[in-house]
Structure 1
């Protein structure tokens, strides 16, 4: 059925998105390609949350793998009843989708917080490592003239803004795709149950001993 093909398509998309989330999160550790800030723990606390690696990455690989194999999965035939097995597989995909929703939601929320609080940097005003924009509630994003307050790492505002925004968008797309699969899995499971009942009905009605033949 088309429900299995839809799940497979969602699975492949999630694999690509998960890989991009992991790459974006890794890049957050190396502003301008420099490693010394990570080794000296001079990065935003939201970078260390690993929201792209764990949330948008690892926790998305599981549902993606389940969705890709769903078209041909029938739960070992469910004791010889193929349609029953496919229905079980489709309905159980909702659990995998729920794991994906948790992971992508985590990625989305942490990315939003990272953007709102701003980077951890050496402030030109306070001459110390602080979060200079934490009280602006994200307003600093529209005040480009203030970005120069961060002396080190260089261009850290632009770096964080770009990568956290990418993770925010990717996490949001993953969240939508996993939510779609919850609906797709439920509808697919119900449809396969109905097909199974219909086949049983015709098998009983037009059994040879009844002497009836389908039109």
Structure 2
């Protein structure tokens, strides 16, 4: 596959994932899709904005740069314009990789600590932090959280989405960094491919 076409595909995937991360982070700000718990009853990891800033905006910049790198350069296919855009996409991929890593770190910590919720003694705390066993697979422990309703499931699902998307973004940013380097050094092969297509 040409470096230009690969860049466009990776860029479009990163843009889609970045938007999904932003949506997931926004939903985490409204537990159980209710506004009454915001802002005082939200866990710290939600306010660290791992999905909104890291896996979202930072990766969106990388995705847009990759899509542009896969387009025509300032003076046509396979020219200096494409090579410059490919080189810029390499630096943007490093930036996006840092954002994806931040998203993964925040999501992992959030899943390990559990949600902030109201317990039976009317205290707002993270009851799963001090437990020796994981609450993720033991649904009986979820009853420790009384409010917001279904907060444990909400927390697990959305932060798992952020974790999974963050890992995929990290891989794709690495792919684009390598692809961008190849496009910078070797140029864009789409011109030859387009000519072959026209000959057919």
Contact 1:104/1:175 (8 A) holds in 2 = yes
Query: Which structure's relative contact order is higher, taking Cα pairs within 8 Å and 6+ residues apart?
Result: 2
Which of 94, 98, 104 is residue 100 of structure 2 equivalent to?
A: 104
How far apart are 1:51 and its partner, in Å?
1.0
Contact 1:117/1:137 (8 A) holds in 2 = no
> Deviation above 6 Å: which 4+ runs of structure 1?
none
The answer as to 2:109 corresponding to 1:127 is no
How far apart are 1:142 and its partner, in Å?
2.1
Inter-partner Cα distance in structure 1 for 2:165 and 2:50:
11
- Point out where structure 1 has 5 or more consecutive residues left out of the alignment: 194-215
1:24-80 CA deviation, whole Å, 9 max, x = no partner? Answer: 1111111122111113x1111111111111111111121111111112353x45xxx
Aligned to 1:42: 41
How far apart are 1:158 and its partner, in Å?
0.6
How far apart are 1:110 and its partner, in Å?
0.3
CA RMSD of aligned residues (A): 2.1
The answer as to 2:117 corresponding to 1:118 is no
Aligned to 2:164: 169
Structure ID, larger Rg: 1
Inter-partner Cα distance in structure 2 for 1:65 and 1:130:
40
How far apart are 1:85 and its partner, in Å?
3.9
Aligned to 1:205: none
- Point out where structure 2 has 5 or more consecutive residues left out of the alignment: 189-200
Aligned to 2:2: 2
1:159-201 CA deviation, whole Å, 9 max, x = no partner? Answer: 10000001111111111111100111111212129xxxxxxxx
Aligned to 2:173: 178
TM-score by length of 1: 0.81
Aligned to 2:64: 65
TM-score by length of 2: 0.86
